[in-house]
Amino acid sequence: MAIHLKAVVVGAMVLAATGVIVAQTSALTRTMVTKADVSVPGREAVVARVEVAPGGVAGWHTHPGDEISYVMEGTATLMVAGQPPRQVSAGEGFVIPAGVVHNAKNDGASAIKLVGVYVVEKGKPLASPASAPTP
């Protein structure tokens, strides 16, 4: 039991050292670029490279702050609670307000790559799984 726990702790440390932020699904990868305090007390900015694999789905989730993203490569369908699904493509940006349930689906043959900037509450997970909104 102690050996298993030690292996889990060591594995978590290795993940933390690589800068990979645990994602909702294996199709979504967030790699932290930098993190810093902002002018709003109790908040921090997290800048990450985000990729959704070809045919992959990010999974419904929320953030404890605003997401501001810029699409560098590819196209995906962005699904935001209360809004019709829309396509986002290279050269476009989008903003998801704090706590809003959203998802993305990559129907393309190559990964969609984004730069995500998150202005979030310190000490909270960057993303939390959520149920799909009811239509």
Which has the closest alpha carbon to 101: 66, 131, 64?
131
**What percentage of the chain exceeds 70 in pLDDT?**
81
pLDDT of residue 25: 61
Read off the amino acid at residue 68. Answer: I
Report the distance separating Cα 38 and Cα 46, nearest Å: 10
Average pLDDT value for residue range 89-111: 97
Overall pTM surpassing 0.85 (yes/no): no
Burial 78-89 (b: 16+ CB within 10 A, else e): bbbbeeeeeebe
pLDDT above 80 for 5: no
pLDDT at 26: 83
Q: pLDDT digits over 38-70, tens only?
A: 999 999 999 999 999 999 999 999 999 999 999
